[in-house]
Chains A and B, each alone.
Chain A
Amino acid sequence: MLFKTIKKQDFFDFYFPDFQCIGPKKVGTNNNGKPIYQFLPFSSFDEIDLDYETTEYSAKTYFLPYKETLSSFSFEDNDWTQEINYSSNPRLIIGLHPCDINGLVKLDKVFEKTLFPNPYYITRRQNTFVVGIDCKQPCDRGFCSSVGSNTVTHGFDLFLTDIGDRYFVKIGSDRAFNALQKIKTRDITKNDNELYLQARNKFDDGVEKTVRVENLPNLLDIEFESDVWGKWGDKCLSCGTCAMVCPTCYCYGVTEHISMDFNKSDKIKQLYSCNLNDFAQVAGGHNFRPEPATRLKYRYYHQHRGFVESFGQPLCVGCNRCGRACLAGINPTDVISDLQREQKR
């Protein structure tokens, strides 16, 4: 990895005129007076705040839109033609935290490094210039360090860490290296390294929430029939909010929508949630997971067992967006700690 440092104000010379720019924008305040941020398009750096704590939604939607047309059929006489379009415009996303970037790295595994690479995802991913930034302080009940997503080593173009009046910059791609030629940078010094490590240690020490996950693949298997699932499942409203805000939930459904004049039909992919009632329903009406508890369990099972078996790491990045967004107050750390306690009893 190549490193540089940039003076903070110099960094804002960095601008992509032809790109759609996305960054953390303040959109309001919550009941406690805390600002609410979302990743939204911006036209000037004044509109975004790189010192934000966290966003309500992840930036997933810019790679996996909630709704997208996979292909269109047009009908003529007794025949049809299928049209597929993968185009996506160049985009700059700035201000992704380590959890978001680790989320993208995990999605890369699912959509790029498999038997059937997904062209829709790959096109968006390749056309997006990702600038990440380290968190200054841990977010509310975030447990990223427990799942190893508090640091990033790849999956970005540039990655910034605030070290006082300068940014410590990790360069993750050749296009980022070229982009940096246009602004004033400095090679790193021993002192910069020191400041970087200090900033990181300060963050790590600040993380209060920890949860044990390395034993979960085994534990989830043993506790498959545990009462813990019923306890949390009874609270679950099966609304799917957790999956919508999650940086890594990628399940979807495909439906076809026919135009009013019957000349055209669109095959539309819509992100889904395994907590929704009909997720595992098959033709004829049988539902393999009819109760909220089995669906909730499945979500944890997929994140902490299935994904670990396939890729050697949990799917969860510990951002706790689902925990904060849950209308029923279900927090992933509570569910996991409950399971761990169950084991001790």
Chain B
Amino acid sequence: MKNIMHPYDVRHETDMVEPLDFNRRSRLKEVDRCFKAEITNVIRLTDMEKLFQIRMVNDKDWERFVFLPGQFVMLELPGYGEIPISFSSSPSIRSTIELCIRKAGKVTQALHKAKRGAIVGLRGPFGTYFPMERMKGNNILLIAGGLGLAPLRAPISFVIENRADFEEVHILYGAKEPSQLLFDYQYEEWHRIDDINLEVIVEQPDKSWIGPVGLITKLLDDIKMPADKTYAIVCGPPIMFKFVCKRLSEMGIPMQRMFVSLERRMHCGIGNCCRCNIGSTYTCLDGPVFDFWTVMNLKEAI
């Protein structure tokens, strides 16, 4: 009977010899392979968040690693676990990626103890992205609440690098307290760029705070721009983007031109495990970036 059935081995698949392309159908064999990466810098942002600068150990892997703003990567900390993290850096920087990570669970707590030089694993990039190309030639509103600035920093970098392609640019950022503001060392830089409007608001100011106080929607009061020529990217907790998007709708911006990034716990990143399902939509394959109309139609999303 041996000749009836030849043992099957995925390693014999012929399509395995193609170079790996992260954004297309994966090579069968590599679906769980982590690419070795080294933490080159750890930057403390607040008490809870750190920014990790990471580069691939193997240059060849790096050449194939191309991502777009809004996508995420599965970050493996061998021995602890794997977590989905959005890119916080510009896709055009071809030497390192930056991941802003809050100390929230088991893996992130271990990661916060990691030092420069630690070797981690990367799988990805996965998921949908903000359609930056489509937004060119339009006004753009970049709105973040709390940790939402972490994924929003990728499109912000893209817009700054391609400033000439966009009309009006507004960056609006809100947090609960001044001590929770992320990337505060960069506001000065963004401020100084001619013709980019950056506004930061907090809900509970401390004594030294001199900026505006209130909810993020307050910042939208002063913004007047033609709605039919405006795109918006909104990142933050569901309760925040729900109210922001409602406001943007009232301003006349079509819901299909507002983009949000959803977050769920993912165990695979490749549409297998179902852990990130909202209703029955995979956040990892169909998301994490959705337009707001799609989100409105997802049960349990907000």
Q: A: which residues have CB within 8 A of B?
A: 15-19, 70-71, 73, 75, 78-80, 82, 84, 86-87, 89-90, 110-111, 114-119, 122-123, 126-127, 129, 175, 178-179, 182, 221, 224, 250-256, 258, 262, 265, 267, 272, 274, 279-284, 288-289, 294, 298, 301-302, 305-307, 309-310
Chain A interface, >50% SS class: mixed
Inside 8 A of A117's CB, which chain B residues have their CB?
Answer: 25-26, 28, 31
Chain B 22-66 per-residue mask, 1 if CB under 8 angstroms from chain A, else 0: 001110110111100000000000000000000000000000000
Whether B252 is near chain A, meaning CB under 8 Å from some CB there, is no
Chain B interface, >50% SS class: loop
Q: Does B29 lie within 8 Å of A119, measured CB to CB?
A: yes
Which partner residue on chain A sits nearest B297 by CB separation? A221
Which partner residue on chain B sits nearest A249 by CB separation? B274
Chain B 145-176 per-residue mask, 1 if CB under 8 angstroms from chain A, else 0: 00000000000000000000000000000000
Which partner residue on chain B sits nearest A254 by CB separation? B267
Interchain Cβ contacts under 8 Å between A and B, 30 examples: A15-B1, A19-B5, A73-B79, A75-B78, A78-B119, A80-B119, A84-B33, A90-B7, A114-B271, A118-B31, A119-B28, A119-B32, A129-B4, A179-B4, A251-B273, A252-B268, A252-B274, A253-B273, A254-B81, A256-B78, A265-B79, A267-B82, A280-B275, A281-B265, A283-B108, A298-B300, A301-B280, A302-B277, A302-B280, A309-B280
Assuming A75-B78, A178-B3, A251-B274, what are 7 further A-B pairs, CB within 8 angstroms?
A73-B79, A82-B121, A86-B11, A116-B26, A127-B8, A272-B275, A283-B106
B4 touches which one: A75, A178, A305, A307 (CB < 8 A)? A178
- How far is B10's CA from A90's CA once the two chains are assembled, in angstroms? 14
Which partner residue on chain B sits nearest A253 by CB separation? B267
Whether B299 is near chain A, meaning CB under 8 Å from some CB there, is yes
Which partner residue on chain A sits nearest B81 by CB separation? A256
Report the minimal beta-carbon distance from A111 to chain B, rounded to whole angstroms: 7
Inside 8 A of A17's CB, which chain B residues have their CB?
Answer: 1
- How far is B44's CA from A233's CA once the two chains are assembled, in angstroms? 45
Which of chain B's residues 253-302 have a Cβ closer than 8 Å to chain A? 263-265, 267-268, 270-275, 277-281, 285, 299-300
Inside 8 A of A294's CB, which chain B residues have their CB?
Answer: 300
Known: A127-B8, A129-B5. A289 touches B26 (CB 8 A): no
Which partner residue on chain B sits nearest A284 by CB separation? B104
- How far is B300's CA from A221's CA once the two chains are assembled, in angstroms? 12
Q: Does B4 lie within 8 Å of A175, measured CB to CB?
A: yes
Q: B: which residues have CB within 8 A of A?
A: 1-5, 7-11, 24-26, 28-29, 31-34, 78-83, 104-108, 117-119, 121, 263-265, 267-268, 270-275, 277-281, 285, 299-300
Inside 8 A of B107's CB, which chain A residues have their CB?
Answer: 283
Report the minimal beta-carbon distance from A83 to chain B, rounded to whole angstroms: 10
Known: A82-B121, A127-B7, A274-B274. A18 touches B34 (CB 8 A): no
Report the minimal beta-carbon distance from A72 to chain B, rounded to whole angstroms: 10
Report the minimal beta-carbon distance from A205 to chain B, rounded to whole angstroms: 34
Q: Does A116 lie within 8 Å of B78, measured CB to CB?
A: no
Report the minimal beta-carbon distance from B124 to chain A, rounded to whole angstroms: 11
Report the minimal beta-carbon distance from A257 to chain B, rounded to whole angstroms: 9
Inside 8 A of B11's CB, which chain A residues have their CB?
Answer: 86
Inside 8 A of B274's CB, which chain A residues have their CB?
Answer: 250-252, 274, 302
Inside 8 A of A110's CB, which chain B residues have their CB?
Answer: 272
- How far is B25's CA from A253's CA once the two chains are assembled, in angstroms? 23
Q: Does B31 lie within 8 Å of A251, measured CB to CB?
A: no
- How far is B74's CA from A256's CA once the two chains are assembled, in angstroms? 14
Known: A116-B26, A307-B280. A288 touches B79 (CB 8 A): no
Report the minimal beta-carbon distance from B46 to chain A, rounded to whole angstroms: 15
- How far is B31's CA from A166's CA once the two chains are assembled, in angstroms? 45
Report the minimal beta-carbon distance from B43 to chain A, rounded to whole angstroms: 21
Inside 8 A of A175's CB, which chain B residues have their CB?
Answer: 4-5
Known: A73-B78, A80-B78, A258-B79. A86 touches B9 (CB 8 A): yes
Q: Does A111 lie within 8 Å of B272, measured CB to CB?
A: yes
A115 touches which one: B2, B108, B264, B271 (CB < 8 A)? B271
B264 touches which one: A82, A280, A284 (CB < 8 A)? A280
Q: Does A116 lie within 8 Å of B270, measured CB to CB?
A: yes
Which partner residue on chain B sits nearest A71 by CB separation? B32
- How far is B121's CA from A226's CA once the two chains are assembled, in angstroms? 45
Report the minimal beta-carbon distance from B223 to chain A, rounded to whole angstroms: 31
